[in-house]
Chains A and B, each alone.
Chain A
Amino acid sequence: MAKRMRSPSPQTIAVLDVLFQQQRRWLYGLQIAEATGLASGSLYPILIRLAERGLLESRWLEPEREGRPARHAYRITGEGRAVLSHALKVRATSGLQEA
């Protein structure tokens, strides 16, 4: 069971959303950074937190080109999808209330 989580920040939701859009693929940190517009200093603390809470899984993938190091890749988990879905619902509801 995932640890109880405060309502995720917009940046965290953006990361989960990118992973959800490509949920069958393993995504690299750089791809997530490009898709969300987050800098490495903001992205990695989010990835670490999500991984520690079991909302995404990670693995090392062999390099595509010779001489390059293995790369860390990420994929959303079932719990991650549930948290994202809940966060999007909350956001939509609070958006409606403000309107």
Chain B
Amino acid sequence: MDFANVLLNIAGRITPSDRRDWLAAMKAEQQEVRSGRLRWAVGCLTVALGWRVAKDGLYASFICASLWFLAATPFFVLEAQLMPAELWDLGLYPPLVYLVAIGLVLGLYRPRLAVYASIGVVVFYDVQATFETYLWVRQMPEFRDQTLWAFLQDLQINNAHLLIGFCAHLGACLCGGLAGRWISKQLKSAKR
């Protein structure tokens, strides 16, 4: 298999289902190209990427915006305004609520990807937040020599053990995602 065919296979994988016929048309022509097969294949891949961006650009933008919101929003401000203290006592920390909401939108928008997207968002968010906190802690003179492993052993997420906190985040986002998927299915069946 030459490189041009590899590119066409990639184009086939990323092409949305409603554009499959057009990709087949481009692939069929590629078999007739005598010189410049690679150039033709690069063109096919570019067109397929354009289709994918047009179809999923908004979705990808929402995921990026969610990650930015989770990472950059000053929670101490939002916590005071949006979350009554009683909810804290029940263990409903702001990130959990945000993750349910983000999962819900992800599930509504792309029901099939709800689980993968939720896992991706939570893993990215927790790894990023953990590492950022580690770097921040290491700026203090008394923790300058602390290793990442020692830091992780002491780390808590939402006042719980690291693993439990991560599972709570994942569960919150998955609950939102699955709820979104369920609502989306109900809406589709109601339309029919």
In the complex, what's the smallest C-beta–C-beta distance from A72 to chain B, in angstroms?
3
* Chain A hits for B28, CB < 8 A: 68-72
* Chain B hits for A40, CB < 8 A: 26, 29-30, 39-40, 43-44, 47
Is the contact region of chain A dominated by helix, strand, or loop, or is it mixed? helix
Q: Given known contacts A48-B22, A69-B24, A72-B24, is B32 in contact with A41 (CB within 8 Å)?
A: no
What does the 1/0 interface line of A39-78 toward B look like (CB < 8 Å)?
A: 1111111001000000000100000000011111000000
Are B43 and A72 in contact (CB-based, < 8 A)? Answer: no
Question: When chains A and B are docked, how far (Å) is the Cα of A44 from the Cα of B30?
Answer: 13
What does the 1/0 interface line of B110-152 toward A look like (CB < 8 Å)?
A: 0000000000000000000000000000000000000000000
Task: Let me know if A20 is at the binding interface, CB within 8 A.
Answer: no
Are B43 and A28 in contact (CB-based, < 8 A)? Answer: no
* Chain A hits for B39, CB < 8 A: 39-40
Are A69 and B47 in contact (CB-based, < 8 A)? Answer: no
- Size class of B's contact patch? 20 to 34
Question: When chains A and B are docked, how far (Å) is the Cα of A28 from the Cα of B28?
Answer: 10
Q: Which of A30, A42, A68 has the most CB of B within 10 A?
A: A30
In the complex, what's the smallest C-beta–C-beta distance from B64 to chain A, in angstroms?
25
Which residues 40-78 of B sit at the A interface, judged by CB distance below 8 A? Answer: 40, 42-44, 46-47, 50
Are A44 and B47 in contact (CB-based, < 8 A)? Answer: yes
- Indicate which residue in A30, A58, A68, A69 contacts B33 across the interface (CB closer than 8 Å): A30
Are B40 and A69 in contact (CB-based, < 8 A)? Answer: no
* Chain A hits for B27, CB < 8 A: 69
In the complex, what's the smallest C-beta–C-beta distance from A46 to chain B, in angstroms?
11
In the complex, what's the smallest C-beta–C-beta distance from B91 to chain A, in angstroms?
52
Q: Given known contacts A30-B29, A30-B33, A71-B32, is B43 in contact with A44 (CB within 8 Å)?
A: yes
Q: Given known contacts A39-B39, A45-B47, is B29 in contact with A71 (CB within 8 Å)?
A: yes
Task: Let me know if B31 is at the binding interface, CB within 8 A.
Answer: yes
Question: When chains A and B are docked, how far (Å) is the Cα of A68 from the Cα of B29?
Answer: 10
* Chain A hits for B90, CB < 8 A: none
Task: Let me know if A8 is at the binding interface, CB within 8 A.
Answer: no
* Chain B hits for A70, CB < 8 A: 28
In the complex, what's the smallest C-beta–C-beta distance from B126 to chain A, in angstroms?
39
Are B44 and A29 in contact (CB-based, < 8 A)? Answer: no
* Chain A hits for B87, CB < 8 A: none
Nearest CB in chain A to that of B41: its residue: A40
Q: Which of A33, A43, A44 has the most CB of B within 10 A?
A: A44
7 interchain pairs, CB-CB under 8 A: A30-B32, A30-B33, A39-B40, A40-B39, A44-B26, A69-B24, A72-B22
A interface residues (Cβ-Cβ under 8 A, vs B): 28-30, 33, 39-45, 48, 58, 68-72
